[in-house]
Amino acid sequence: QVQLVESGGGSVQAGGSLRLSCAASGYTYSSYCMGWFRQAPGKEREGVATIDSDGSTSYADSVKGRFTISKDNAKNTLYLQMNSLKPEDTAVYYCAAVQELCATISRFDENVYSFWGQGTQVIVSS
């Protein structure tokens, strides 16, 4: 059974950094498109970043240059390094996975992902 478990959320002041982790069990990351999504209060869930099986990455415009997605296949762990955080980054962050190539799907569409973590809260104060 596939399980995704996020960690690393917390509270930070604007301009600070956090690193989120997503540990997977039940499958190997190497053959999946992985993504980070977030949902702010009162808003729909949105895609933040994706990483393909070959390591290629994509980012939402709102986080380009500030966030970095990466993965460690040996540890079956996905990461999201978040720098220069802003109050508008406040949200619950989720990792997601689907057994497809990112390049063949609408990678920022939450409906194409099969597996989800429980989410981790990130709060950025001004």
**Per-residue pLDDT tens over the stretch 100-112:** 999 999 999 999 9
Closest CA to 47 of 30, 66, 62: 62
Q: What is the mean pLDDT of residues 18-22?
A: 98
Please tell me the distance from the alpha carbon of residue 104 to that of residue 108, in angstroms, as a whole number.
12
Q: Are 97 and 112 in contact (CB under 8 A)?
A: no
pLDDT of residue 26: 85
Closest CA to 22 of 1, 5, 36: 5
Query: Using one digit for the tens of pLDDT, what is the confidence trace for 33-62?
Result: 999 999 999 999 999 999 998 999 999 999
β-pairing verdict for 120-125 and 10-13: parallel
